[in-house]
């Protein structure tokens, strides 16, 4: 193992979503992801899905496969102030890994029908994990995002 190559990522499947282009994915402050999609898991990984249907929500780790390079500072869509990449969901990350929480609607063999997708159609999926617990809403502080939403509300 070298520092420049920790492991070799491989797709465990691909996402089917309504979004053919980046411009189609809802973005910006307060966006809710309400689209349905399908996670098509490769047949050789099907055994790894055993008992997944018992979970209402899943973490999906996927690859920003249509983003090149990374930017340590950037202003998210709809936000005028630049923030650090680790304080945003920017696709331009040192490791181009994305994380989405989806609701599992139904499993059919290697197909996971899910609600709440925000990735492009054809996106490689790296991992799926059960969503086990939540931070209580009253314990969450959301930094620049809360402030940006307040600024936007004050303008409208």
Q: Least distance to its own copies from the beta carbon of 23, Å? A: 22
Among 34, 97, 109, 153, binds its own copies (CB under 8 A): 97
Residue 6 near its own copies by CB under 8 A: yes
Q: Tell me the chain's radius of gyration from C-alpha atoms.
A: 17
Instruction: Tell me the number of residues near its own copies by CB under 8 A.
Output: 67
- C-beta of residue 46 within 8 angstroms of C-beta of residue 110: yes
Q: Give the C-alpha separation, 139 to 19, whole Å.
A: 33
Residue 141 near its own copies by CB under 8 A: yes
Residue 38 near its own copies by CB under 8 A: no
- C-beta of residue 23 within 8 angstroms of C-beta of residue 107: no
Residue 35 near its own copies by CB under 8 A: no
C-alpha pair distances (Å), 72 with each of 3, 87, 125, 126, 128: 20, 10, 24, 23, 27
The candidate with the shortest Cα–Cα distance to 63, out of 33, 30, 98, is: 98
- Report DSSP letters for 90-139, one per residue: -S--SS-EEEEEEEEEEEETTEEEEE---S-TTPEEEEEEE------GGG
Among 27, 115, 121, 126, binds its own copies (CB under 8 A): 126
Among 18, 77, 78, 147, binds its own copies (CB under 8 A): 147
Among 19, 93, 114, 118, binds its own copies (CB under 8 A): 93
Among 52, 113, 115, 122, binds its own copies (CB under 8 A): 52
Among 9, 40, 113, 121, binds its own copies (CB under 8 A): 9
Judged by the rule CB under 8 A, the positions of this chain that interact with its own copies are 1, 3-12, 41, 45, 47-57, 59, 61, 63, 65, 72-73, 82-89, 93-97, 99, 101, 124, 126-137, 139-147
């Amino acid at each position: 193992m070298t520092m420049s190559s920790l492991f070799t990522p491989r797709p465990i499947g691909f996402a089917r979503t309504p979004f053919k282009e980046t411009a189609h994915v809802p973005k910006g402050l307060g966006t809710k992801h309400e689209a349905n999609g399908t996670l098509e898991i490769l047949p050789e990984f099907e055994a790894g899905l055993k008992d997944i249907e018992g979970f209402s929500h899943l973490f999906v780790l996927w690859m920003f496969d249509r983003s090149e390079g990374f930017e340590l500072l950037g202003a998210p869509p709809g936000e005028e102030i630049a923030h650090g990449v680790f304080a945003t969901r920017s696709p331009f990350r040192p490791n181009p890994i994305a994380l989405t929480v989806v609701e599992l609607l139904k499993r059919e063999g290697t197909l996971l029908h899910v609600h709440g997708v925000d990735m492009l159609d054809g996106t490689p999926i790296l991992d799926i994990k059960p969503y086990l617990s939540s931070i209580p809403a009253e314990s969450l502080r959301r930094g620049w995002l809360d402030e940006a939403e307040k600024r936007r509300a004050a303008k409208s």
